[in-house]
Amino acid sequence: MNAGFSNLATLKAQLLAPALQNRADWDPVILAIGRGVANAIEQFCNRKFMFAIGLMDVTQGERDHWYARCHPVTQFTKVELRYFRSDPWTDISGQPLAADEGKGLIHFGYTLGRRPIQVRITYNGGFFWEQIEPNTAGYPTAVPDEITNNPAGLNPNDFMLPAALQTAWFLQCRKVWEAIDKLGTKITEVGSNTRNASEALAGLDFIPMVQEIIRTYKRYQLT
């Protein structure tokens, strides 16, 4: 299962001693940490990371370009406009569009219009990582053909989750894991960062190294 930026087994290998990795006692907590940290990284970076087909971004039309929320992009499949919310979407995909799929950039060729006009961009993109558990049917997961033979002509390796991003996720998950009183036996004690509430909550902040890494993946695009 998807634990954030890996399957659960991979994350457990980062947090637990080898003798404990086959136990399921802490699986719900570890899963919550992994997904919570991944979501926090996405919020910080103002983007989504997981590869998907048929993604849609809807934004204001008073612009001449857009950076997709999830990239790199294998292909932009449709661009549509509407003026009012009750109006049907009008396909303008045949207009003079240009794209840099590696950066998730699509350029419309001109400013599409003024508010409240909206534009909807449909595309496929994001990073791929293993989400199936070992010893489970389908493991290891085959890389989707949409990536292997992507219409953008990008190197398929460009769509693999960057090691630096996964490492930042591991580091932050470890920080949160260390801050938790895993057995719930120290609630009345003080003097340790695994037991003091304020210090434990501080573990939810990005550590400096993590922040430096994920800063390079930030998407600078206003909605």
**pLDDT of 19-55, one tens digit each?**
999 999 999 999 999 999 999 999 999 999 999 999 9
Range in 5-9, 12-16, 173-177, 201-205 the model is least confident about: 201-205
Arithmetic mean of pLDDT, 188-205: 49
Is the pLDDT assigned to residue 189 strictly greater than 60?
no
pTM summary value: 0.88
Residues 108-148: tens digit of each pLDDT? 988 988 888 999 999 999 999 999 999 899 999 999 999 99
Return the ∠ at Cα 200 (arms to 198 and 206), rounded to 5°.
105
pLDDT value of position 187: 47
Q: Coil, strand or helix: which one is 204? A: coil
Range in 141-145, 187-191, 215-219 the model is least confident about: 187-191
pLDDT value of position 102: 97
Which spans in 137-183 are helix H? 145-148, 163-178
pLDDT value of position 36: 94
In whole angstroms, what is the distance from residue 126 CA to residue 124 CA?
Answer: 7
Identify the H or E element spanning 59.
Answer: strand 52-60
Place of tokens 């961009």: 121
69 and 44 Cβ atoms separated by less than 8 Å: no
- In the 8-state DSSP scheme, what is residue 82? E
pLDDT value of position 78: 96
37 and 173 Cβ atoms separated by less than 8 Å: yes
In whole angstroms, what is the distance from residue 143 CA to residue 171 CA?
Answer: 26
Domain positions in the chain are: 1-49+161-223, 50-159
In whole angstroms, what is the distance from residue 118 CA to residue 81 CA?
Answer: 6
In whole angstroms, what is the distance from residue 20 CA to residue 13 CA?
Answer: 9
